[in-house]
Amino acid sequence: QLALVESGGGLVHNGGSLRLSCAASGSIVRLYSMGWHRQVPGKQRQLLALITGGTTSYADSVKGRFAISRDNAKNTLYLQMNNLKPEDTAVYYCYGIELRGAGVHEYWGQGTQVTVSS
């Protein structure tokens, strides 16, 4: 029952930077992992970055350019995006994973548009 709200998207030139934020309605300490996905119309959502405890992982397409971080005190997840390229244009989604005894519960944000111009 955790609401996630992304912000920080917008229009940026090729090579520019943006920082996305994902504000949670409650504590994110309970979440085993949090991450960022993106989706282009007509295509499947793709996992970009994941943070589990202090460990981060990235898709090859964004490795070295994007950085995921989490501020538990602010209940906020971040995605710092540098050296943006036109192919990064997509809707970016925040998510969290809560592990419970019998399985997993996923939380998703509404998405924020990122557009990178040539």
> What's the pLDDT score for residue 51?
98
Q: Tell me if 48 sits within 8 A of 36, measured CB to CB.
A: yes
> What's the pLDDT score for residue 72?
95
Give the chain's end-to-end CA distance (angstroms, integer).
40
User: DSSP readout, 56-102?
Assistant: EEE-TTTTTTEEEEEETTTTEEEEEE-S--GGG-EEEEEEEEEEETT
> What's the pLDDT score for residue 102?
85
> What's the pLDDT score for residue 17?
98
Q: Report CA 31 to chain centroid distance, whole Å.
A: 14
By the 10 Å C-beta count (0-12 exposed, 13-18 middle, 19+ buried), 98 is classed as middle
> What's the pLDDT score for residue 34?
98
> What's the pLDDT score for residue 1?
83
Other beta carbons less than 10 A from residue 91's beta carbon: 18
Mean pLDDT by 10 residues, the chain (118 residues): 96 98 96 97 96 96 98 97 98 95 93 97
Tokens representing 23?
């504000």
